[in-house]
Structure 1
Amino acid sequence: MTVEFIVILLLGAAAGGFMNGLAGFGTALFAMGFWLQIMPPTQAVSVVVVVSALTGLQGVWLVRGSITDHPRRLARFLLPALLGIPLGVAALSYLRADTLKLIIAGFLILYGGFFTLRAALPKMERPTPVIDVLIGFAGGILGGATSLSGVLPTMWCAMRPWPKSETRAVLQPFNVAVLAVITGALAVKGNYTAQTLTYLATVLPVTVIFAQLGIVVFKRLSDDQFRRLLIALMLLSGLILMAREVVW
């Protein structure tokens, strides 16, 4: 590994870990923008799903009380997602690196725009079990294909009138469980070569440390500050990644 390679590798680990600790998701959204510059898509996804799942365990512990208070809510998202994962994993082999980058950039921009408009959106207070199931299923497909399992559930949960701890109590265990299954599927396919495991050993300590920093910030943010920070980080990152692929 060259110095430039290591720097990009660790920048992705730091960005992804911090967002995981801060928001309970986002490791893939931020880390993949870096790692797809130095790894093929299959290898980048193989690395990101492992670090996402392992660092996410810290966040699960953080909101464990909210998880046990609403177990059925989580199940409506998680169980359908498990059915969608094989479809996503099957699609992974057919994706090109530039296509995957554009998909990630598009989700970042859409998500940033979504939160920009969130104040004007209605709060969905009534139960929506069917939509929850569909969102979970789609999240499983995206998770298997690009490790972006949390994007759609996050957009949907953000419309619910839940405190940030309850929102995280859905998103964090959802992502951890989905990505753990994806990791197993990728391992069966033989994706975890010696080189991939070396990359994992390099990035994991950095990701864990920055996830802890993200958790510290999460605890200190108000709901409004939390939303504004997400807007700035996601929208800016998506625009930069899109410009890199389309313009440069």
Structure 2
Amino acid sequence: MTASYVAIVLLGAFAGGFVNGLAGFGTGLVALGIWLHVIDPLYGAPLVAICSVAGQLQTLPAIWHAVNIRRLLPMLVGGVLGIPVGILLLGHMAPDLFRLSLGLFLIAFAIFMMFNRSLPAMRWGSKKTEGMVGFCGGILGGLAGLSGPLPTIWVTLKRWEKDERRSVFQMFNLTILACVAISHLAIDGITVAFSQLVLIALPGTFVGAFAGIRLYRRLNDHRYNLLVLIMLAISGITLVVSEIG
């Protein structure tokens, strides 16, 4: 294991942790683009899941006061139930078309919300509706590791204040990605090479998440909302470019 290998893994972990600490999601979006220059692609998804969970657990105390477990429960239960459905759909969907369609949708949504900031907050939505949002998010998580977009869009339409908004999609992503990480470890096992990767990446994740959450505390609701929309747009652009490139 060379010094450059370790440096690249640490850099990717720091960048992913920083974005996670700042926005509450986006570890894989940033880290994978750096990691895949040196690591085996088979290790990418489980490493992202583990580092995401670690970073979100670290920053959870900063938004814990806004967490409402009773309100979150329908979405969390729906998400967990959706994971196996997504896994089952893996062999029955065209992944290229799926990622391209989702990417275009995320770009369109982000642009629409950026230019329509005066729209009133969405008031409707029962526990059943939130359960369905979670279920669909769980399907996307099991299908493509993309559990975050739908809950993030949901709370963006609600226009809650930033801690309340972040508490929803961070707790959702934490739950879904923890299930994904456990599934990967149960199916693929823990190899020496993967254990070394985790031990290298976690310190970078912790430092990055610490820096990100400090900057998050300085953002007002307007700037945080803009940050989330930009992150959704970047996620969409990344998906589209990966399919047409």
Q: TM-score range by the shorter chain?
A: 0.7 to 0.9
- Paired amino acid for 1:87: V
Match among 175, 187, 190 for residue 189 of structure 1? 187
Following the alignment from structure 2 to structure 1, what is the Cα–Cα distance between the partners of residues 213 and 82? 29
- Alignment-derived partner of residue 9 in structure 1: 9
**Structure 2, unpaired ranges of 5+:** none
- Alignment-derived partner of residue 202 in structure 1: 200
- Alignment-derived partner of residue 65 in structure 1: 65
Give per-residue Cα distances to partners, 1:56-90, cap 9 Å, x unaligned: 012221121221xx222211210111111123345
- Return closer, same or farther for 1:149/1:243 CA change in 2, 3 Å cut-off: closer
Following the alignment from structure 1 to structure 2, what is the Cα–Cα distance between the partners of residues 10 and 107? 32
Match among 138, 141, 146 for residue 139 of structure 2? 141
Identity of aligned residues (%): 36
- Paired amino acid for 2:28: A
Alpha-carbon contact 1:5-1:38 (below 8 Å) kept: yes
Deviation larger for 161-170 or 139-148? 139-148
Match among 214, 217, 238 for residue 216 of structure 1? 214
Following the alignment from structure 2 to structure 1, what is the Cα–Cα distance between the partners of residues 54 and 116? 30
1:110 Cα offset (Å):
4.9
3-state SS of paired residue (2:226): helix
Deviation larger for 212-221 or 199-208? 199-208
Following the alignment from structure 2 to structure 1, what is the Cα–Cα distance between the partners of residues 43 and 104? 21
- Return closer, same or farther for 1:144/1:240 CA change in 2, 3 Å cut-off: closer
User: What is the correspondence of 1:42-61 to structure 2 with a 5 Å cutoff?
Assistant: 42-61=42-61
Following the alignment from structure 1 to structure 2, what is the Cα–Cα distance between the partners of residues 111 and 9? 32
- Alignment-derived partner of residue 152 in structure 1: 150
**Structure 1, unpaired ranges of 5+:** none
TM-score, normalisation: structure 2: 0.83
The yes-or-no answer on 1:29 pairing with 2:41 is: no
Following the alignment from structure 1 to structure 2, what is the Cα–Cα distance between the partners of residues 45 and 6? 18
Match among 78, 81, 89 for residue 80 of structure 1? 78
1:136 Cα offset (Å):
0.3
Following the alignment from structure 1 to structure 2, what is the Cα–Cα distance between the partners of residues 103 and 28? 19
- Return closer, same or farther for 1:240/1:11 CA change in 2, 3 Å cut-off: farther
- Return closer, same or farther for 1:108/1:11 CA change in 2, 3 Å cut-off: farther
Deviation larger for 179-188 or 111-120? 111-120
Deviation larger for 91-100 or 141-150? 91-100
- Alignment-derived partner of residue 20 in structure 1: 20
TM-score, normalisation: structure 1: 0.82
Task: Report how many aligned residue pairs link the two structures.
Answer: 245
3-state SS of paired residue (2:180): helix
Give per-residue Cα distances to partners, 1:200-238, cap 9 Å, x unaligned: 111111111111111011100011111233344553565
Following the alignment from structure 1 to structure 2, what is the Cα–Cα distance between the partners of residues 93 and 36? 24
The yes-or-no answer on 1:131 pairing with 2:129 is: yes
- Return closer, same or farther for 1:169/1:26 CA change in 2, 3 Å cut-off: same
Alpha-carbon contact 1:22-1:218 (below 8 Å) kept: yes
